[in-house]
């Protein structure tokens, strides 16, 4: 049985002694134990990061980029191993896990361009023999607190940019699927990253609170549920930290009558049930504009009934189990609730056949609820599982109003062949990430990821140019130099050290 430890100052450590169980979601069996950090463990990681920061900050941009390039190559070479760890602890199928690693690697590739990304501005002659120029410098020790649903991708939204900018990074991954973090730590070391620049503290709320309170942590990035995102933002800000806290979502897909319904049905199934619906960019609500609802639901059901549900390590599986028994039961409770609220249960995931049998695994198959009432709990609450709700609306205007009245504003999509309607939607919808005939509009790494309203606390989104700005702070220099005739000329050829 495996034992997952902390990674502090370039080495594994057991820490304070508390542990938690790690489960295989496909079998329900305990597969190992993970150390849970004490405040002292967090202090040790932060101290190592603070000690490593000055030298890493002073490393040239080219040196940092070289380490990033080596890390990228090592991650690519170990992507199958990383995906296997994710499948074993999260439950998602291998193809989903590989896709997660690939999307995370895009951020690493973006961060490899750090010499260009940290260019400042320069204004010559702002006054007599006076020039002004700007630069961006790292913050120091920064931390990332990441969720269970993407144990590789979400950390890679954060630490490649933070480290490339010259910071030292402390990662607190989810204790439910912690092993991926240690593989990435070992690959950082192999890539030549100095010890202490990247550390991992496994843990629960004890570790989170210490990171939020620690006086040497300058900034915290977080992805998780909205209540915890609000807590992280308020607690971190109260302790003087820069915070970006990404919260929950309830993403709607608006389907206009002119849309290609086969394309829509394919998109709804993949966006609703990929990774067992455990993702903040999942489409959980389809807004079907009359009169397409009946035909669209029929097409969705046809596709759902062909989905193969099974263990993540079985290549035949298209959807795996949920991450824990408690989470599976919470998601399943919405099926009866939806019926009580007036919805029609068209596909019941509790009855889905599972490859090899259900055993004691945390299984819930793809579920479809039709005629879900607007404003019901099933419609408005983040379920975070394989439950697709279909809401009927009479017009584009009604569908837009339903989306904009929601408390979340993470992602949304419109399916239509009308360019004018699509352009109007992207302008009017109050959501941070918009797809046009694209169901999961996760931006490429050179743009930034994040929502509006209760889906984001703080002013800065992750990765892309906003990520660079989050992990750096600006400085402006105004300088005056005497004419060269007064001396001080150096004709030595500049070198990159």
CATH number of the CATH domain containing 133:
3.40.605.10
- CA separation for the pair 226, 249 (Å, rounded): 8
- C-alpha Rg value of the chain to the nearest Å: 24
Residues 148 and 270 in one domain: no
Please give the biggest Cα pair distance in the chain: 87
The pLDDT assigned to 144 comes to 98
pTM above 0.85, yes or no: yes
Distance CA 248, CA 233 (A): 14
pLDDT at site 487: 56
Please indicate, yes or no, if residue 33 is contained in any of the structural domains.
Answer: yes
Is residue 484 a part of any domain in this protein? Answer: no
pLDDT at residue 286, as a whole number: 98
User: 259: domain CATH number?
Assistant: 3.40.309.10
Share of the chain above pLDDT 70, in %: 97
Backbone angles phi, psi at 472, to 5 degrees: -135, 165
Cα 335 to Cα 227: distance, rounded to the nearest angstrom: 23
In this prediction, residue 484 carries a pLDDT of 66
Section 275-284 average pLDDT: 96
- Give the three-class secondary structure for 495: coil
What pLDDT is attached to residue 496? 59
Question: Coil, helix or strand for 347?
Answer: strand
Q: Tens of pLDDT along 427-483?
A: 999 999 999 999 999 999 999 999 999 999 998 999 999 999 999 999 999 999 887
Is 324 among the domain residues?
yes
Q: Do residues 335 and 383 both lie within one domain?
A: yes
pLDDT value at position 483?
74
Could you give the CA distance from residue 416 to residue 427 in angstroms, rounded to a whole number? Answer: 15
**16/153 same-domain check:** yes
Give the 3-state secondary structure of residue 329: helix
Q: Which of 45, 48, 265, 280 is flagged as catalytic?
A: 280
Whether residues 92 and 216 share a domain: the answer is: yes
Residue 444 included in any domain: no
> Are residues 110 and 212 both part of a single domain?
yes
Q: Is residue 482 part of a domain?
A: no
112 is catalytic: no
Model confidence pLDDT, tens digit, residues 45-84: 999 999 999 999 999 999 999 999 999 999 999 999 999 9
DSSP 28-97: TEEEEEEE---HHHHHHHHHHHHHHHHHHHHS-HHHHHHHHHHHHHHHHHTHHHHHHHHHHHH---HHHH
Q: Cite the DSSP H helix spans in 205-244.
A: 205-213, 226-238
487 part of a folded domain: no
Average pLDDT over residues 176-182: 98
The CA–CA distances, whole Å, from 361 to 27, 57, 87, 174, 354 equal: 4, 47, 13, 20, 10
Count of domains forming the chain: 2
Contact by Cβ (8 Å): 354, 361: yes
CA-closest candidate to residue 178, choices 20, 340, 358, 62: 20
496 part of a folded domain: no
Asked whether residue 113 falls in the same domain as residue 15, the answer is yes
The residue-averaged pLDDT of 101-107 equals 98
Per-residue confidence (pLDDT) for residue 70, from 0 to 100 = 98
CA distances (Å), origin 136, targets 64, 126, 415: 15, 20, 41
Which whole number is the average pLDDT over 315-337? 97
Same domain? 136 vs 150: yes
Residue 220 confidence class, pLDDT cut points 50, 70, 90: very high
The DSSP element (H or E) to which 448 belongs, if any, is none
Range of the domain at 157: 2-247+455-477
Say if residue 486's pLDDT is above 80. Answer: no
- Shared domain for 365 and 425, answered yes or no, is yes
Determine the average pLDDT of the residues in 234-247. Answer: 98
**Tens digits of residue pLDDT in 386-398:** 999 999 999 999 9
pLDDT score, position 482: 83
Do 51 and 153 have their domain in common?
Answer: yes
Over residues 192-221, the mean pLDDT reads: 98
Does residue 289 share a domain with residue 230? Answer: no
> In this predicted structure, what is the pLDDT of residue 378?
98
pLDDT at 16: 72
Is pLDDT above 60 for 124? yes
Is it the case that residue 290 has pLDDT exceeding 90? yes
Residue 148 banded pLDDT, cuts 50, 70, 90: very high
Contacts of 478 (CB under 8 A, 6+ apart): 126, 130, 131, 132
- Residue 485 pLDDT grade (very low, low, confident, very high; cuts 50, 70, 90): low
* Residues 167 and 274 both lie in one domain: no
- What does pLDDT average to over the chain? 96
Whether residue 290 is found in the same domain as residue 373: yes
pLDDT tens, position by position, 17-46: 899 999 999 999 999 999 999 999 999 999
């Amino acid at each position: 049985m495996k034992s997952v430890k902390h990674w502090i100052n370039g080495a594994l450590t057991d820490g304070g002694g508390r542990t938690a169980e790690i489960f295989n979601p496909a079998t329900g069996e305990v597969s190992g134990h993970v150390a849970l950090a004490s405040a002292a463990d967090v202090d040790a990681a932060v101290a190592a990061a603070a000690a490593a920061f000055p030298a890493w900050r002073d490393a040239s941009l080219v040196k940092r980029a070289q380490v990033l390039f080596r890390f990228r190559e090592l991650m690519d070479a170990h992507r199958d191993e990383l995906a296997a760890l994710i499948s074993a602890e999260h439950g998602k199928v291998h193809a989903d896990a590989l896709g997660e690693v690939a999307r995370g690697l895009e951020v690493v590739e973006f961060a490899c361009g750090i010499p260009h990304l940290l260019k400042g501005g320069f204004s010559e002659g702002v006054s007599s023999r006076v020039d002004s120029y700007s630069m961006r410098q790292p913050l120091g020790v920064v931390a990332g607190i990441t969720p269970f649903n993407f144990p590789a991708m979400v950390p890679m939204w954060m630490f490649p940019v933070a480290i490339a900018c010259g910071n030292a990074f402390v990662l607190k991954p989810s204790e439910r699927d912690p092993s991926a973090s240690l593989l990435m730590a070992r690959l950082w070391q192999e890539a030549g990253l100095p010890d202490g620049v990247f550390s991992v503290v496994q843990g629960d709320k004890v570790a989170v609170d210490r990171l939020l309170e620690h006086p040497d942590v300058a900034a915290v990035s977080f992805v998780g549920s909205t209540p915890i995102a609000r807590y992280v933002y308020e607690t971190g800000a109260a302790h003087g930290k820069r915070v970006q806290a990404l919260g929950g979502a309830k993403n709607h897909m608006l389907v206009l009558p002119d849309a290609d319904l086969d394309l829509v049905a394919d998109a709804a199934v993949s966006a609703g049930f990929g990774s067992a619906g455990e993702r903040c960019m999942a489409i959980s609500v389809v807004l079907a504009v009359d009169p397409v609802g009946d035909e669209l639901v029929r097409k969705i059901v046809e596709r759902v009934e062909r989905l193969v549900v099974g263990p993540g390590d079985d290549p035949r599986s298209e959807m795996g189990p949920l991450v824990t028994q408690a989470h599976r039961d919470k998601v399943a409770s919405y099926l009866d609730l939806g019926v009580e609220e007036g919805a029609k249960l068209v596909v019941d995931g509790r009855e889905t056949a599972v490859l090899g049998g259900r055993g004691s695994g945390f299984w819930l198959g793809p579920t479809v609820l039709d005629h879900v009432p607007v404003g019901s709990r099933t419609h408005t609450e983040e379920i975070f599982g394989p439950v697709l709700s279909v809401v009927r609306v009479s017009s584009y205007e009604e569908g837009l109003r339903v989306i904009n009245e929601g408390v979340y504003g993470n992602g949304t999509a419109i399916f239509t062949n009308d360019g004018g309607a699509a352009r109007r939607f992207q302008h009017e919808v109050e959501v941070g990430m918009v797809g046009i005939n694209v169901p999961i509009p996760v931006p490429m790494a050179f743009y930034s990821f994040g929502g509006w309203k209760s889906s984001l606390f703080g002013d800065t989104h992750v990765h892309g140019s906003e990520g660079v700005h989050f992990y750096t702070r600006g400085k402006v220099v105004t300088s005056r130099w005497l004419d060269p005739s007064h001396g001080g000329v150096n004709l030595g050829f500049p070198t990159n050290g």
